[in-house]
Structures are given as C-alpha cells and as structure tokens.
Chain A
C-alpha cells in the first residue's frame, strides 16, 4: 500500500513503475542514477502540487500497483 509518506527510495525499489508515472507529472525520482531523498509528498510539493493532487497521485499509484 502506497501512501504519501513513503520515501522515494522505497517507492522506486518496491514500485518501479512509479518512476515513469511521476516523471510524466514532472517529478524526477532518479537523479545521477540514485533515488532522490525525501517522501512522495515532499517530491510533489517541490513541484507545486497541492494535497488534493497528491491524494489523486497516491490513489492512481495504488491502482497501478494492484494491476
């Protein structure tokens, strides 16, 4: 189960598809070949997404994780 407090490191490791999903939203999870530090929420806020956007992303990621 993905929630907004998951670290990008864990997200990338456990849900590799997230990298492409977030890349399309302008959020870069990998830089210099390594996951960036911080949580999913922090990465989204860095790109000026609000809490509603973040909730939507989390829901969509969880749907993708089930498939």
Chain B
C-alpha cells in the first residue's frame, strides 16, 4: 500500500513552517534561523522550522528548572502513569510517525515502525521501573542506627540525538528520566527536526490532559552556534546524554568533564561479526547481511567487519555476495515496502562512502561487490548507493575508522577463535560484536574476560538491533555510556547514602572517641 506522505504530515500536525521550541505545554514563535528539512528519498523539502535563539534556550531552561521543583515531588508511579499514556499515544500514531521517520531519515518503513515500537517498548519498561526505583538497606556498625542508600531525582537532562534514530533515542532517555523525576531538554539532529517536532506534538495532549507542569518535556531545535558548547558547559544541566560521533563525544566529554558534570556518551562503533567453521552458515549470512545493509549501514551497530575462518572463507564470501546480489534489486524508495535498502542521509554521506571505497583499494584492499552511486529513475536524489563488500586487512586505516555507510570489510583469520577475537578487539571502538558458532567453547570464550571487549557481545545474533531490555552502549571510543534497559535508570538519578541515629547516644564510625 502506498503511503500518502502529505496525509501523514497533516495527521502529525506538520505544516509548511513549524515552531521548533516547546516546553511540553506551549509552542513558541521564535526568531532564530529558519531552516528546512529535506527528504533523502527524493531531495524535496518537507517543511521549514523556526529555530530557537539563545533567549529561547534561556527561557526553556528557566521553565525546566521551575518544573523540576514540582516534578521531583510527584510520586514515581504517578510519573510512570504519564509515561504509560505517552506509550499509548505513540501506539496511536505508530504508523504515521514511522512513515515520517522513514521519509525524513531514509530508513525503510518497517524500520521506521520498528523505531516507534522501540519508543513504545521503553515507555512500557519505564512504567514498570517507576515502581522499582529501589535503594539498598545496609547493616550499620553502630547500635540504633539505620544505614541505607536511595536514588533521588537529578535535575535537567540534556538530550542530543542523531539523525539515524531521530526519535527512539529521545524515548530511551526521556522515559527513564521522566520516571526518575528529571526534566529533559531535547536538541534533535538538524537533519531530522520534523520527526522530533511530531513526537513532541504527539505527547502534547497527554501532558495537557494530566496537568504535567510546563517545562518537564522540552524541545529546542537550534543550531550548534545557539545551543552547542554553552549547553554542554551549563552547570544547570547535570546530565548530558549525547548520541553522535566519537569526535563529538570527545568534545562533549571534555567540556562537561571540566565542570564535573555527568554524561551518557553513545558514540561510534566498528562492529564485527566472527564466523567460525562451527557456525550455522545460513543463519550467519542472513543475520550478517541485515547488519551490513540495514538502515543503509547507518546504525551505530551496523556490521562493519566480517572476520571469517580461512577454511570457510571462500564459501562464506560467495554466499554473502549472492545475498548482496539479491539485495541489489531491493534498493529504492524506503516507503515502498518492496525495498529493503533506502538512501544515505545526504551527499556528504555518499561522499564518505565513495571515499572509503577508494581508500580501501589504495591501501591494498579489493572490492568484490558494489561501491557505486546509483543513478537513473528513482535515484534522482543522488543519495542511493550499491552496498559494498571489500576484502581488507584489519590494520588498514580505513578499516580502523567507522564509515557511516553500507561498506563492509571481509577479513580472514586462521587457527583458534582467540585469533579472531583479537582481530575484532583491535580497533579503537567497542560497541557491538557477535560470533556465529555452535561450539560452546568458542561461544563461551567470546563472552569471557578474554573475549569481546565490546559493550554488546552476542552469540548467533548479529551486531545490529538491540532490545530495549538490556543496557545499550559500548566501551573505548564508543564512550562508555549506557542507556535504555537493565539498571541504566540509575544514571538519571542522584545516589544518596543516609545514616539515621534513632538512639540516645552518639557513637562515631570506626569507634572514634571525641568526647567534649
């Protein structure tokens, strides 16, 4: 069924020119730059956005500070009820928001729907967590004393999101921050502001209906000259959650670190799949190809390297190439469900792709499939490419970098699986990894202390596409942050240890005597 994008925009409240600043209750007619958002699918402008100014940022921050004072007093399960209703609103708009994400970002419609489903899932998770913000009761060494730890709301959480997951990452952070008693200020990617505005509009009704204080859920579309280093350096924002490149993460870490603020950094990956002679090859191929070409290779968790044992290398290589041949007929408009791979986000990403194709050859690698920019009917935007497979060595400079596009490097290993793991770990990044094997020794070694050094280490599950239930994030140049499931909620809170003396004496810790 064809998707009528104009109907989608109308339903989501997107007009020709849109306000870009909201406090959850009010939208503001700002005087900042008027920017536009275009679709990578056809290059057409979707709509314009009125950006925020420095004054708008200050206004939103003041409202957020005020709102925090109220919101932190609302019982966590009541905060969870608001998040539950947000989840319901997202369910109601799932198809439309999924379509807009697809149109504005370029991922296929199924993945657009999947992104909104992630938002719904994390809302559900957060609702449950709102009744489980638990502390620890400990044993005091002093008579008639009680010792315990608890978690308190932190304050304003700044959320900077990237184009490739224009709304899900906001939800990962916001759902948990909200139940934790925090308030959020969202700076979306300048490439996908309309998805952010649509999301904010979807939650508007929930906030108004429930009299949520103005300033709990804030959105500021602004250039980095307005909301950049000043946002990072702002002591009124105790936690910055930033998804982006390692280069941006280093800047964020440096600026926020100088003021001893907290960060959640979700940065670049250089994710590898290991395929051993003991692998279930059909599963390995299907899973790996989704990891390499899904979202046109523009996921943080996209598979960048495939490390294959020499005994099965030729066979696996042929099978991957055959799978790519099938994919080559399924590249096109991502709103058409016949296609599996959409465009890259813009010309710069296309250039990065073609540069990587050139560089890997200059370094001695060999292209065995794809690597071209597609032309002709349906590809007029210039953003579509034929996914590329290259044979390469792990030490190549281009292999050590993350290219945010569908280029994957085949790397041969010999001997024991530890050799493959060593190759896999020998990159600056440490986000996602996986091994395909039915051998329990190889599988266990992969997730042991000497195994994968990544934040995500899967067995017979590809690198791409994590569930919200687990903590998401990576090590080394990936930044070390964790968000989404498990106990990630703790990052959004202030940990407090308390000792209460309910006795009539004043014993000091460690038995110290201090008699006046």
Would you call B251 an interface residue if the criterion is a C-beta within 8 Å of the partner chain's C-beta atoms? yes
Are the C-beta atoms of B223 and A9 separated by less than 8 Å?
yes
Residues of B within 8 A of A33 (CB): 162-164, 191, 298, 344-346, 348-349, 352, 404
Residues in A neighbouring B371, C-beta threshold 8 A: none
Contact flags A28-39 to B (C-beta < 8 A → 1, else 0) = 111111111110
Known contacts A7-B225, A37-B228; A30/B246 CB under 8 A: no
Instruction: Name A34's contact: one of B189, B344, B355 (CB within 8 Å).
Output: B189
A12 interfacial by beta-carbon distance below 8 Å: yes
The reply on A20 being an interface residue by CB < 8 A is yes
Find out whether the CB atom of A32 lies under 8 angstroms from the CB atom of B268: yes
Q: Mostly helix, strand, loop or mixed at chain B's interface?
A: loop
Is residue A23 contacting chain B, with contact meaning CB distance below 8 A?
yes
* In-complex Cβ contact of A31 among B163, B246, B344 (8 A): B246
Which residues of A lie under 8 Å from residue B228 when comparing CB positions?
A: 7, 37-38
Q: CB distance B348 to A30 under 8 Å?
A: yes
Is B452 in the interface zone, CB < 8 Å from A? no
* Residue in chain B with minimal CB distance to A28: B247
Judge whether B190 is part of the interface by a CB distance below 8 angstroms: yes
Contacts of B252 in A (CB 8 A): 37
A55 at the interface (CB under 8 A from B): no
Q: Are A31 and B248 in contact (CB under 8 A)?
A: yes
B12 CB within 8 Å of chain A: no
Per a CB cutoff under 8 Å, which of B229, B298, B347 touches A16? B347
The range of chain A's interface size is 20 to 34
The answer to whether residues A37 and B248 also contact, given A12-B348, A23-B355 and a CB cut-off of 8 A, is: yes
B244 contacts partner chain A, Cβ-Cβ < 8 Å: yes
- B351 interfacial contact with A, CB 8 Å: yes
| Per-residue B-contact encoding for A9-26, CB less than 8 Å = 1, 0 else | 110110010011001000
Known contacts A9-B190, A19-B348, A23-B355: A34-B225 contact under CB 8 Å: no
Interface residues of B in 319-370 (CB under 8 A from A): 344-349, 351-352, 355
Residues of B within 8 A of A38 (CB): 228-229, 251
Report whether A19 and B251 are in contact in the complex, using a CB–CB cutoff of 8 Å.
no
Shortest distance between the CB of B343 and any CB in chain A (Å): 12
Task: Tally B residues with Cβ within 8 Å of A.
Answer: 33
* Closest B residue by C-beta to A39: B225
Q: Which of A16, A32, A37 contacts B402 (CB 8 A)?
A: A32
Cα separation A28 to B344 with both chains bound (whole Å)? 18
Closest A residue by C-beta to B248: A37
Query: How many angstroms between the C-alpha atoms of A16 and B346 in the bound complex?
Result: 11
A residues in contact with B164, CB < 8 Å: 32-33
- A13 contacts which chain B residues (CB < 8 A)? 190
B224 part of interface (Cβ distance < 8 Å): yes
CB of B215, distance to nearest CB on chain A (Å): 26
Separation of A33 and B164 alpha carbons in the complex (Å): 8
Query: Considering the complex of A and B, which 9 residue pairs feature the smallest CB-CB distances, nearest first?
Result: A31-B245, A32-B245, A30-B348, A33-B404, A36-B247, A31-B247, A9-B224, A32-B404, A7-B225
Q: What are 20 A-to-B residue pairs whose CB atoms are below 8 Å?
A: A7-B224, A7-B225, A7-B228, A9-B225, A10-B223, A16-B348, A28-B247, A31-B268, A31-B404, A32-B162, A32-B244, A32-B248, A32-B402, A33-B163, A33-B345, A33-B348, A33-B352, A33-B404, A34-B163, A34-B191
Residues of B within 8 A of A (CB): 162-164, 189-191, 223-225, 228-229, 244-248, 251-252, 267-268, 298, 300, 344-349, 351-352, 355, 402, 404
Given contacts A33-B352, A36-B247, list 13 more A-B pairs with CB under 8 A. A7-B223, A9-B190, A9-B224, A20-B351, A23-B355, A32-B300, A32-B404, A33-B191, A34-B162, A34-B189, A34-B245, A35-B224, A36-B251
